[in-house]
Structure 1
């Protein structure tokens, strides 16, 4: 799995780390049960502070995409692949809604309509 960041992007670095892992899960590059790179090693390879990587991993943990286990590191959860694809699609939907000037209320109404 290749994790990429752009030091010049407006998006925070920890979010870029999380987004890269989400994308890898969504496209099947990171399978359930697979271990992610050790935070210290990933930070060194990306020239980041280890706490930046850990913050990205914590976002993924909070989303239910990975488990953080002391001594075992970060592991992709069993239900991550479907959830990861859905979250990636949702991010794309929100980006498109913003691009055309649609607000959160209108987008929520559209999603609610589709769900019923």
Structure 2
């Protein structure tokens, strides 16, 4: 799996790390049960603080995409819906980025989503 971070990006580094994993899950390049790199190893290879990696992993855990297990590290969940959730999260982030570029307010974007769900 390829991890990339852009130190010049306004997006927090932990979020960039989470996005790399999310993308890999959505594209199917990582599978349920696959282990992610150890936080310290990944931090060293990216040149970031280990807590930055852990923040990214924590976000993925909160989204239900990985499990954090003591002694086993971060593992992609064995859940058929995980790939769909990862894809949806990517699309949501793309929506938010586009909305910001267009200067839309949060209320406008939420309204559009609500109308789309209706």
Tell me the residue number matched to 2:10: 10
How far apart are 1:82 and its partner, in Å?
Answer: 0.5
**Aligned equivalents of 2:71 and 2:107: distance in 1?**
44
Map Cα deviations across residues 13-39 of structure 1 (whole Å, 9 max, x no partner): 212111111111121112222111111
TM-score (norm 2): 0.89
What count of residue pairs does the alignment treat as equivalent? 116
TM-score (norm 1): 0.91
How far apart are 1:110 and its partner, in Å?
Answer: 1.4
Tell me the residue number matched to 2:69: 69
Tell me the residue number matched to 2:92: 90
Structure 2 unaligned runs (5+)?
none
**Helix, strand or coil: the match of 2:64?**
coil
**Aligned equivalents of 1:8 and 1:110: distance in 2?**
31
Map Cα deviations across residues 43-98 of structure 1 (whole Å, 9 max, x no partner): 11112221211111111111111110011110111232110000100111111122
Tell me the residue number matched to 1:19: 19
**Aligned equivalents of 2:66 and 2:41: distance in 1?**
18
**Helix, strand or coil: the match of 1:67?**
strand
**Aligned equivalents of 2:84 and 2:31: distance in 1?**
11
Structure 1 unaligned runs (5+)?
none
